[in-house]
Amino acid sequence: MFFQKSDSMKYIILILLAIAFVPAIRRFLFEILVGNQIAKQQKRYNDYNEKERGKEGEIKVKTPPTNSKGKDTEGGQYVDYEEVK
């Protein structure tokens, strides 16, 4: 009623050889297993880029935030240099 071990091994080996050496089968299996995920990632990437770019012809200028402390210091405080011998 069930396959013998040798018969089932033959079918498994034939299926593995078909997958390994027949490009059409490989492409089909790849599309089923991986292709859908790749398409989703590409759509997500394109949607994000369109959102960041904005409309065509629109200009965006990103400026750094202003210092809310009121002081406009760059690089910290000045410290006198004293040579140690």
User: Cα torsion at 4, 8, 9, 10 (round to 10°)?
Assistant: 110
Query: Tens of pLDDT along 51-80?
Result: 776 667 777 778 887 766 555 556 677 778
Query: Tens of pLDDT along 11-58?
Result: 889 888 888 888 887 788 888 888 888 888 888 888 887 777 666 777
Contact 25, 18 (CB under 8 A): yes
pLDDT at 2: 56
pLDDT at 22: 82
Q: How far apart are CA 18 and CA 27, in angstroms?
A: 12
